[in-house]
Structure 1
Amino acid sequence: MCRCSAVIKTLIFLIFYLHLSSAVTHTLQYVYTGVTGINFPEFTAVGQVDGQQFDYYDCNIKRDIPKTEWIQKNVGDDYWSRETQNRHRAQEVFKVRVGTAMQRFNQTKRVHTVQWMLGCELDDDSTTRGYSQDGYDGEDFISFDLETLTWIAPTPQALITKNKWDHNSGWKNQLKNYLENTCIDWIKKYVSYGRETLERKVRPEVLVFQKHSPSPEVVCHATGFFPKAVMITWQKDGEDVHEDVELRETLHNQDGSFQIRSILKVPAEELQKHTYTCVVQHISLEKDLVLPVNERRIPKGGGSIAIITAVVAALCVLNSIVFVGIVVWKQKVRKEADVKKGLFISDK
């Protein structure tokens, strides 16, 4: 059993490494959020290409605005007018959705959120994927199965919505067309607009350090890299380590790059007896970065740790502002406007 497990892990590693070294995947994602009960915009909408935010809307500013130079240079006023109208329609729908969800869960006033995550992916071999997921209070509520054109309800409160949407063939066909065609067309346009930015390759800055509380652990922190795909592994005396490893979520940096950390729980006496290394793989690197765990990379007095902690805290605040402080769960211009208009419907 152990040998089979090791073989499987090695195969997974090789597959991921080959994909990381050669494949290119572009993504387009929209996140719509309705919120009630806090002093924050009741509705926000964010668009991202390859993880980079390119537009933003909320119910206070009442218009869709550019967030990157490349989108601002390549589209005109008519684009922003259409997107603003789409956001207005979505805003009205989300007011109803928040109230409907609260009724389903038999809840009264408090902080509640409804979120819709919609997007598609395009590989360099022309393989495409699409998804539509709705969440309530940070938990899955309902999602669309593009293969079967049916809705998946993981909670009993979503069954009413599932039954209604399963019988709405027009809605399902519109969503299918958007995810398989319109969304992919816009990925190609956006990538052509921002190719210099979106297809750049920036190597990661990596720091390895030790923490002693609440339990001994070693942290490998990579930041400033682009694109998003990266792999961090640990080795002990040259052999891969898979146990007691925690890989955290990839976070955005303000400059459009990414950061991630991997944590290895290991007793201090083990660090003294053996050689532990952090191995980082990224498409920007000609060869793997291999960083040993040694005293030179273990900050004393908390200096470097404090800097990293401050950066992570700032990013958490930034992400909270953009995504309303909740979990984003685990992910033909006129024609597009018409399709999107059909997407914003309510089950009530």
Structure 2
Amino acid sequence: MRSVVLLLLGAQLAYAGTHSMKYFYTAVSGDIDFPEFTVVGLVDDGQFVYFDSNTMKAVPKTEWIEQNEKADYWDRQAQVFIGSHQVFKNNIQIAKDRFNQSTGVHTWQNMYGCELNEDGTTQGFYQYAYDGADFVSLDKNTLTWLAANPQAVITKHKWEATAFAATEKVYLENTCLEWLKKYVAYGKETLERKVSPQVSLLQKDPASPVTCHATGFYPAGVTITWQKNGQDHDEDVDLGELLPNEDGSFQRMSTLNVGPDEWKNNRFSCVVEHQDKTIRKTEDDIITNFDSVPIAIIVGAVAAVVLVIVIGVVGYLVYQRKKGFKPVSASDDGSNSSART
């Protein structure tokens, strides 16, 4: 099995920074031990709704959505997701045929959503992926579909012969933003909080790479850099993905791969910037015994890994780095995620 990497109505609100809403629909075929179809909805990169084909239920994942939307909302959501399930299964088979594939684990994903910036500007994105790689994506300005490979050209022509692109443009520029504002109003206390990161330097033994680990911060925007003798140092650095913690906060790691002699002969430091706060850690702060790592870091990391597996099943990290997003209509998921390829 291949390696699978687990993508108000009328109210004027004062937004603290950028807010976003994203949806990730994922269908998987082959010999798998997890649901063949999942949907995850995110607001500001925090999960607020989850659905899978085993339970056939849309489940609230935050208190603010659970307290503000009643049973009929969740029933509508579930019906939308159930309707997409079979179409996604069919699309995997179509894609497999086009790529001349008959066996193995394969995935079909839809990733979409919208973003509202502090200055009032907005963005929207809508795209499909096959096996974790781009397949087709919407160009809202030209109302055309961009094919990422020859196999997607058939889909591009098929969809451009319909009003699919225009429908999604309206959704992304109107309905999506309306629901995003509504959700931000629901969760304002949570979504607009500011929590600084806890930063640790971790090293298994004196000969191992050093990892700068920032956790517990909110919102998600964080910068982790290294300095060598007071100057920015970009070489031999592996920056990890942004990961969610169980409590809705985030964590991220950056690892510096230099040998003991270079550490001894130079002064390295990790600089973490979040909101208006800067935290600097140096060699004096290194924890070299992993048994001494605070239990909160370990628990948070484990919870984050579990959540990433659930969220993406495949391709989540691939599309985390793309700043685009998707949501629901009278049910919050009004976009046509059931389009046939």
- Superposed, 1:196-215 pairs within 5 Å as 196-210=189-203
Distance 1:304 1:315, change over 3 A: farther
Pairing partner for 2:64 from 70, 77, 90: 70
Is 2:213–2:252's contact at 8 Å kept on the other side of the alignment? yes
Q: Deviations over 1:234-289 (max 9, x none)?
A: 11222111222221110111111111011222232222122111111111x5x411
Give the CA deviation at 1:335.
5.3
1:274 paired with 2:266, answer: yes
Distance 1:314 1:193, change over 3 A: closer
Count of residues in Structure 1 that have an aligned counterpart in Structure 2: 319
Displaced runs of 4 or more, over 6 A = none
Distance 1:231 1:328, change over 3 A: closer
- Superposed, 1:137-286 pairs within 5 Å as 137-168=131-162, 170-210=163-203, 216-283=208-275, 285=276
Give the CA deviation at 1:201.
0.8
Is 1:221–1:262's contact at 8 Å kept on the other side of the alignment? yes
Give 1 or 2: higher helix fraction.
1
- Superposed, 1:70-149 pairs within 5 Å as 70-149=64-143
- Structure 2 spans left out of the alignment, 5+ residues: 1-14
Give the CA deviation at 1:113.
1.2
**Percentage of identical aligned residues:** 46
Is 2:131–2:314's contact at 8 Å kept on the other side of the alignment? no
Pairing partner for 1:312 from 285, 298, 301: 301
Is 1:244–1:264's contact at 8 Å kept on the other side of the alignment? yes
Pairing partner for 2:278 from 273, 288, 310: 288
Larger relative contact order (Cα-Cα within 8 Å, sequence gap ≥ 6): 2
Output the CA distance in 2 between the equivalents of 1:269 and 1:56.
49
Is 2:16–2:192's contact at 8 Å kept on the other side of the alignment? no
Output the CA distance in 1 between the equivalents of 2:331 and 2:65.
17
Output the CA distance in 2 between the equivalents of 1:80 and 1:94.
21
Distance 1:218 1:177, change over 3 A: same
Is 2:107–2:314's contact at 8 Å kept on the other side of the alignment? no
Secondary structure class of the residue paired with 1:142: strand
TM-score normalised over the length of structure 2: 0.86
Distance 1:132 1:78, change over 3 A: same
TM-score normalised over the length of structure 1: 0.84
Pairing partner for 1:29 from 13, 17, 22: 22
Amino acid at match of 2:151: Q
